[in-house]
Structure 1
Amino acid sequence: MKKALYLIIFFFLCINTSAQNNIPLKKQINAVEISTAPKIDGALDDEIWKNIPVATDFIQFDPTNGAKPSQKTKVKFAYDNSAIYIGAFMYDSSPDSISRGLSQRDNINNSDWFLVYIDPYNDAKTSFGFLLTASGVQIDLKATTEGEDDNWDAVWESSSKINNKGWVAELKIPYSALRIPKKDVQTWGLNMFRYINRNKEKNTWNFIDKKISGFLNQQGEMNGIKGIEPPLRLSLTPYLSGYIDKKSDGTDLSYNMKGGLDLKYGFNESFTLDMMLIPDFGQVQSDDQILNLGPFETHFNEKRAFFTEGTELYEKAEIFYSKRIGAKPVKYDDIELNSSEKITENPQETQLINATKITGKTKKGLSIGFLNAMTTNTFATIKDTITGNKRKVKTQAFTNYNLLVLDQSLKNNSYISIINTNMNRFEDNYSANVTGADFILNNKKNTYALIAKGAVSQVNTDTSNNKIGAYYDVDFSKISGNFRATYTQRVETDKYNPNDMGFLQNNNEIMNRVLLRYNIYNPFWKLLNMYHLLNVSYSTLFSPRKYTNMYIGYNLNTTFKNYLSIKFNFNSYPIERHDYFEARVPNKLYVRASSENSGLSISSDYRKKIAIDANIGSYKVNDNANELGYWFGISPRFRPNNKLCLNLNMNYDFTKNYRGYVEDRNDSIFFGRGNLKTITNTLNLSYIFNNKSSLNFRLRHYWSEVIYYEFYELQETGFLTNTTYNKNNDINYNAFNIDLVYKWQFAPGSELSVVWKNSIYKKEKNIIRNSYLDNIDNTISSPQTNSFSFKVLYYLDYKYLKKNRT
């Protein structure tokens, strides 16, 4: 196997890369200093705009990379002591065809748009993006070598207008929204994007070659800015929120008022402190709960703004998972009750006291990030049903979380990082420490890369010390051109455990993998593009060194010239798998037969008022049990006008002769065989009143049931044998959520939100409901929680307040 991998590496090293030699020169544009700021009204009729250099001659990125755009674009830049001003004119031969769909802030809905990316350090590592749609919706982005982050938010001014020659975007970006180096003469990295929705055409000012990996390394430059002083960056965002909660168990309404503060302070030109005192995340969208029958924890995406904004540094080495902070108490499920006691209150989340972030970059390209968060003691309430007495049980003690990361920029768009996470529950004498590192080393032409990451974990408890484990992941890749390839080796020891502040489903693994890609970026025949991926991997345990699986996968993605996109995938485990985790006993073998699955999905043109996504697939396990399954889904989208959008997502998944772990008893491990069915329906409805206010409704119903009809006992050989075990383990699980959200941005950075949330979670054992209508009726009649809340945020900027006082 190793010889084959080395041959593959040698093969892609020999691929001709001459196409990458002719990298275009950086474009240059000068910004002009002004004494009087323009009015941000989308007119561009202020005197200051008349004699300013023009950035033009955009180049097509999509659909034909490198072609001439269908429409002309002109952009001008001006600056003063407080802000950079941008005036962009998007000429259009058919102004009545300019798409102007409305959406929430930070979302695009069927609209033309203009985007400017500014990199004040001009190091192609971090760039701040400001996007304005033709309908006036603002979107802000932060781009790094890891990708784009649309969770980053800034406060800036803008206006857009459509006229008989096209449309205008006028922007005022205060220096407080950027990180500016302290020097007299500035040279900023710069690129601009224009999107013409009716043609699905994306153009850029400085050419971005799709065959070259990355886009920050293909930016132009803005010169002419000099003599500006980085401003004092100080802002306060106090909040006030109120909650009314009602449970259907007969308890009274509960009322709760909260107040807190988000403080942002730039203590020099490059570093920013972001502190949240008494955080409130009660209005965050509900997690999509599922029935998890597997041995591994379910992963949920972070939705709390504080932990998603500007946190790309914290993702180094794969050791930080922010949802550990404020998560379910560690002893939530370990409460011991007397025969006459019941639990009357058991919080599912620990309460954050405060959270603090510090991020920034030095003049020599060293990025530094720090995070601290604290959660208070969490208690469950126990009531004696005979005496009526109540007692408290601590489910998690005060916990302190820390993270520190250093990231040094290197030549050729490369970097090296060191990161540490540390969690302490002092009262329990429990601490967890993980130290990691990662780096990317690109060659000068940005055609090859050595990518590596790794970490060492250490867990100390009151019963044992120094449980030390480690992992590393090394990739050697050809990263540019039509043909790309990667060889990966990943090793995780059997004691590696980052899960007190990170997320890892399982450790104890050695995996070798080869990825081969062939991409066609420009239109040919009836297609706009085509992407191929072949994935081959071979895995073993780390200790003992035993085979686990071999995997082969193929993916094909393509888009037709009518913008119908198709994806096909085929996945196979061609020989039997040795699963050492399904049995829930360390190193206990379960042999899985070879299997295959394939899927097909389509997505139609979203520019049309009615569009559709659909998928279908099946899989088969090659054993005597004849396990097989199929799935299909359909998601119609209706957009009758520029304000209203409705999306219904319906998915059905069925497995016949499903086999999996049921329970272990008296040193015996039992598996069940049965049918597994899952139906998920999600309705999203949004109405956008204008570019400042919106109403969104989301309803999700998830129903999963497993019906067992045969049981087996797991043998030492890893195979199943018949048993007399016949316990009823059928499960019927429902998760029902409604999130209704009204938002109004009544001032820059300030917002009013009103939210209604309804939640039902019901897990029934030994009860089967074959009828969907019967099941949904029973679910809606089940105990549920309703929450009505409001929250007001008000943004206060020091410089603005000082100016008004003066």
Structure 2
Amino acid sequence: MKKVFILFIVLSCVSLSAQETKKNLITKRVSNPPKIDGILDDIAWENCDIAKNFVMFRPSSGTPENENQKTEVKVVYDDEAIYFGAYLYDDKPNEIPKQFANRDNFGAVDWFGIMLNPNNDSQNDTEFFIQASGNQADAKSNAFNEDFSWSAVWDSEVKIVENGWIIEVKIPYSSLRFSNQEVQTWGLNFHRRFSKSRDQYTWNFIDRTKGVIQQYAGTLSGIKSIEPSTRLSFSPYASSAFNSYDGEEDFDNSIGLDVKYGINESFTLDATLIPDFGQTAFDDLVLNLGPFEQQYQEQRPFFTEGTELFSKGNMFYSRRIGNTPINYFDEENLEENEEVIDNPYKVNMLNAVKVSGRTKGGLGIGVFNAITEKTEAKIKNPTTDETRRVVTEPLANYSVVILDQQFNKNSSVSFINTNVLRDGSARDANATGLLYTLVNKKNTHYIDGSVKTSSIREDGEKLNGYYFDTSIGKFAGKVQYEAGYRMVDENFDINDLGYQNRNDYQNVYGNFSFRIFEPTKTFNRYRISTWGNLNYRKSDGAYMDNHVGINFNATTVKQLSFGTNINGKIGKTNDYYEPRVEDRFYKDKPRLHFNGWISTDFSKKFSFETYVFYGIRIGENREYYEFEFSPRYRFSDKFNVSYGLNMGVGKNSKGWVNELEDGTIIFGNRDSKNITNSISGRYNFSVKSGLALTFRHYWSPVEYDSQYFTLNNNGSLSLNNSYTDSHDINFNSWNLDLSYSWQFAPGSQLVALYRNAIFNEDENSYLSFNHNLTNLFEQPKQHNLSLKLIYYLDYNKIKTWL
């Protein structure tokens, strides 16, 4: 008993010491850098300081690493790069999970992470991950975001040995941003994760109960007399594509160039000249019957890489650039005998530039600018053979400016401005935001919020709008909470360069949660949370609705994750958005939703996720069911396949269908279904080359009753016996991508892609699933075959060659 007590005291002291001190690792300069081959036999690694004594990050906190799975890391540097050598001990090396994946993705694999903070500001990390398979991932991270779209060019090698695995890494200074000081101290931490147990260890202790990960970095000292290298790289590309659609065929060849230039040690310029987005992934299109625009994820690489600064405040939605023309030509505007012969659905982007970075003093600066070309629709009169052009989008300039000042290692104040200028008298837009996040020194409580304004100039008039939001809360410890207030006036509009689905509202909101940070006999983690809000119109204070809910989610010690949620709206609601006419509303019934999900252990060869949902309107025979099942199977470390099935059925849903010329608003009663089948698979020949398949078919038939309704001024519905139009919909979206990618050199890639797409929307909502497929395959099919080559050129290498 005495020995057990002494052991407990020792372990407690180790844990306490880890929590109270920041570790320091001393690096050294070498004249002969190590060869990156996964073998630590270079002279450079001799007599180095060693980072060791890792402690658990999750599921427990501060528990010392096992002796048979300990980790030891060394760091050296020269004038060109910084080098890491890590020995990751494991007494069962043959059982180390090492599923192959493409870059920036993690499968069932053990991994090691290097978290660098050259400014040592405790807020902004540059992360490099090396997986046991040899695959790489990298990201920029802060308290609110981990951006894996950012990519750098660096070198690593992995070797599996008899007592574990070894990693060697070379990170050129061209991939980092740091000051030009004679003596430097960088923030540093290492992470090691075991895929089977999901245990994760760190070199410097991280207290998960408060603060953010970046604040718990150790330090790397001993760096002297290094200079930021010239950060200039070119990525020229060439692409060729064959397109076939509805009997028409064409070839398209293009060349272009992406440029990255380090203006100084803090800031980088990115430019894309003659951009080519021909191999951009498909959007997951869905049928949208609601009053709000559907928001889709950005897929174009230039807009997804290194944009962590621009995401602040949710004021920049890059899909606006090159989207549908603002005055897309409506065929209802055709004159007699005219027909549309060309009506571009997308606007071409001519070029785009962004500058971003952060100073040693914590000031982040981001500047973005893009230009889109003038777009026209062509209208022809076959009788007179005359052709006229209608400008649907004039030449336009899109710009974003952001200033983000961080301080006290946990707080920030940000200024954001977005601006759209269109040629001539067309619509111009400007939006400005001031954001703040203020956290106390103990990292337990915070105040955050924002003030935003918008200004629209159109048809000689100017319209200004306002937004305000603030909240106070506690985000440390087992019990956490937040309470806040938000107000958006009726004129606030950021949709020219941002995304906003509604305005003219104010609400009071709050949430409360309880969670554990140490495992129990049953759970590695669990969390219970409840939340609610109360909503009113801003313009006149009219009551809209309320929303309350309670949620539970957990992961067991056997890695089974699950959760459930119950939420609803109490009492009748006044929906001011569904009628799509200002000051009109629809009085709806109370609603109640139930849902639950299960996710099994993804480290197993077979795993799955499943989700169920049931929603009802109280007092009506109106309900919605949804079921989702997504199994996946790993045939080998190189080959895996996953399938997804989602089915939803809605009964007796009421919604807007039309507005008549006299202002009458027509509602309909509809039954709907949506079925999504998706398949994705990948075979990796190596971590640098592989075949990938993605397929998705979305089908949504909607059938309306023959009886329609008129929306009354008091929000009720009354039968309309004179309206007989048909609004049935049969909506299909079919997409298939088969691609081969090969990273033949660092930063350089060859991608071959075959694409097949079919889209159809008609009124045949009565069709069965099989008959719908037959009908779909009778529609015109789009076939695309493309080849794209990107070659990465580093100025420093070019200079060496010359």
Give the structure-2-normalised TM-score. Answer: 0.96
The residue type equivalent to 1:589 in the other structure is F
Deviation at 1:310, TM superposition (A): 1.3
The answer (yes or no) to whether the contact 1:97–1:198 under 8 Å persists in 2 is: no
**Contact 1:316–1:437 at 8 Å: present in 2 too?**
no
Do the aligned residues in 1 keep the contact of 2:362 with 2:406 (CA within 8 Å)? yes
Instruction: Identify the match of residue 257 of structure 1 among 253, 261, 264.
Output: 253
Which residue in the other structure is 1:604 paired with?
Answer: 600
**Structure 1 residue corresponding to 2:341, chosen from 333, 341, 344:** 344
Distance in 2 between the 1:455 and 1:271 partners? 27
Contact map agreement 2:121 2:409 (CA 8 A) in 1: no
Find the counterpart in structure 1 of residue 418 from structure 2: 421
Cα distance in 1, alignment partners of residues 511 and 16 from structure 2? 21
Q: Which residue type is aligned with residue 117 of structure 2?
A: D
CA–CA distance in 1 between the matches of 2:125 and 2:547? 38
1:63 touches 1:522 (CA, 8 Å); kept in 2? yes
Could you tell me which amino acid in structure 2 is paired with residue 129 of structure 1?
E
Residues 60/753 of structure 1: CA separation in 2 closer, same or farther (3 Å cut): same
Find the aligned partners of 2:765 and 2:406 in 1 and give their Cα distance: 58
Letter in 2 for 1:505: N
Kindly provide the amino acid, as one letter, of the partner of residue 781 in structure 1: E
Moved more, 669-678 or 21-30: 21-30
Secondary structure of the residue aligned to 2:424 is: helix
DSSP-derived class of the 1:199 partner: coil
* Residue 66, structure 1, aligned to residue 62, structure 2: yes
Corresponding position of 1:10: none
Aligned position for 1:450:
447
Residue of structure 1 aligned with 2:780, choices 780, 783, 787:
783
Aligned twin of 1:37: 33
Matched, 1:638 2:617: no
Quote the offset at 1:265 in angstroms: 0.8
Give the counterpart of 1:329 among 325, 329, 353: 325
Larger CA deviation: 270-279 vs 722-731: 722-731
1:750 is aligned to 748
How far 1:379 moved relative to its partner? 2.3
**Secondary structure of 1:777's partner?**
helix
Alignment of 1:21-100 (within 5 A): 24-70=20-66, 71-100=69-98
Question: 2:175 matched to 1:180?
Answer: no
Q: Aligned partner of 1:174: which letter? A: P
Q: Which range moves more in the overlay, 476-485 or 339-348? A: 339-348
Do the aligned partners of 2:19 and 2:205 also contact (CA within 8 Å) in 1?
A: no
Check if 1:202 corresponds to 2:230: no
Whether the 8 Å CA contact 2:122–2:409 is kept in 1: the answer is no
Offset at residue 381 of structure 1 (A) = 3.2
1:430 deviates by 2.5
Q: Is the 8 A contact 1:21 1:445 kept in 2?
A: no
- Pairwise CA RMSD of aligned residues? 1.6
Superposed CA deviations along residues 393-452 of structure 1, whole A, max 9, x for unmatched, are 322111100111111111141111101011011223421111111111110010001111
> Structure 1 residues 61 and 37 mapped into 2: Cα distance closer, same or farther (>3 Å)?
same
Aligned to 2:263: 267
Number of the residue aligned with 1:119: 117
Q: Which residue of 2 aligns with 1:517?
A: 513
- Partner residue in 2 for 1:657: 652
Offset of 1:87 from its aligned partner? Answer: 0.4
1:404 aligns with 2:419: no
**Any idea what SS the aligned residue of 1:427 has?**
coil
Instruction: Answer yes or no: is the 8 Å Cα contact 2:123–2:409 preserved in 1.
Output: no
Deviation (angstroms), 1:74? 0.4
Q: Tell me the SS of whatever aligns to 2:615.
A: strand
Q: Separation in 2 of the partners of 1:213 and 1:235?
A: 37
Residue 397 of structure 1 contacts residue 428 of structure 1 at CA under 8 Å; is this kept in 2? no
Asked if 1:373 corresponds to 2:365, the answer is: no
How is 1:389-538 mapped onto 2 (pairs within 5 angstroms)? 390-465=387-462, 467-538=463-534
Partner of 2:130: 132
Match of residue 801 from structure 2: 804
Q: CA deviation at 1:24?
A: 2.6
**Alpha-carbon offset, residue 726 of structure 1:** 2.7
Q: Secondary structure of 2:412's match? A: strand
Cα 1:20/1:330, change in 2 over 3 Å:
farther
Query: How far off its partner does 1:384 sit?
Result: 4.0
- Segments of 5+ residues of structure 1 without an aligned counterpart are 1-18
Report deviation, 1:519. Answer: 0.9
Change (3 A) 1:489 1:20: farther
Deviations 1:647-672 (CA, angstroms, capped at 9, x unpaired): 11101101111111111112211111
Contact kept, 8 Å, 2:18 with 2:205, in 1: the verdict is: no
Report the counterpart of residue 241 of structure 1 in structure 2. Answer: 239
Structure 2 distance, partners of 1:623, 1:553, is 20
Deviation at 1:388, TM superposition (A): 5.8
Find the partner of 1:166 among 149, 157, 164: 164
Matched, 1:628 2:623: yes
* Code of the aligned partner of 2:65: P
CA distance in structure 1 between the aligned counterparts of 2:746 and 2:409, rounded to whole angstroms: 38
Q: CA deviation at 1:69?
A: 2.6
How far the C-alpha of 1:547 sits from its partner, in A, is: 0.7
Whether contact under 8 Å (1:327, 1:349) holds in the other structure is yes
Alpha carbons 1:487, 1:515 under 8 Å: kept: yes
Q: CA deviation at 1:349?
A: 1.4
1:227: which partner in 2? Answer: 225
Is this contact kept in 2: 1:595–1:621, CA < 8 A? yes
The answer (yes or no) to whether the contact 1:291–1:733 under 8 Å persists in 2 is: yes
Contact 1:317 1:454 in 2 (8 A): no
Distance 2:501 2:690 in 1: 38
Given that residues 412 and 446 in structure 1 are in contact (C-alpha distance below 8 angstroms), is that contact kept between their aligned partners in structure 2? no
What is the CA deviation profile of residues 49-92 of structure 1, one whole-angstrom value per residue up to 9, with x for unaligned ones?
A: 12101001111122222222331000000000110000011000
**Structure 1 residue aligned with 2:352, among 345, 352, 355?**
355
2:771 counterpart SS class = helix
Give, in angstroms, the shift of residue 257 of structure 1: 1.0
CA separation in 2, counterparts of 1:587 and 1:31?
Answer: 67
Moved more, 339-348 or 228-237: 339-348
Could you report, residue by residue, the CA deviation over 1:580-602 in whole angstroms, capped at 9, with x for unpaired residues?
Answer: 01001011010111010010110
Q: Is the 1:115–1:129 contact (alpha carbons within 8 Å) kept by the matching residues of 2?
A: yes
CA distance in 1, matches of 2:329, 2:654: 27
Q: How many residues align?
A: 782
| Offset, 1:559 | 0.8
SS at match of 1:312: coil
- 1:435 partner letter: T
Residue 11 of structure 2 corresponds to none
In the alignment, the residues of structure 1 paired with residue 596 and residue 16 of structure 2 have an alpha-carbon distance, to the nearest angstrom, of: 34
CA distance in 2 between partners of 1:133 and 1:22 (Å): 26
User: SS in structure 2 opposite 1:197?
Assistant: coil
2:642 pairs with 1:647: yes
Greater shift after overlay, 181-190 or 362-371? 362-371
Distance 1:622 1:474, change over 3 A: same
CA distance in 2: counterparts of 1:739 and 1:308, whole angstroms: 20
3-state secondary structure, aligned to 2:469? strand
Matched, 1:693 2:685: no
Secondary structure of the residue that 1:392 maps to in structure 2? strand
Equivalent pair of 2:329/2:343 in contact (CA under 8 Å): no
Amino-acid identity (%): 38
Give the SS at the match of 1:657: strand
> 2:381 and 2:136 mapped to 1: Cα distance?
55
- Which residue of 696, 717, 721 maps to 1:720? 717
Structure 2 stretches lacking a partner, 5+ long? 1-14
Query: How many Å separate the matches in 1 of 2:681 and 2:342?
Result: 34
Residue 473 of structure 1 and its aligned partner are, at CA, apart by 1.3
Residue 673 (1) aligns with residue 703 (2): no
Quote the Cα distance in structure 1 between the aligned partners of 2:390 and 2:782.
Answer: 23
Contact 1:20 1:212 in 2 (8 A): no
Match of 2:5 in 1: none
Cα distance, 1:554 vs structure 2: 1.2
Q: Are the equivalent residues in 2 in contact too, given 1:412–1:442 (CA < 8 A)?
A: no
Question: d(CA) in 2 for partners of 1:551 and 1:177?
Answer: 47
Aligned with residue 703 of structure 2, among 704, 707, 713: 707
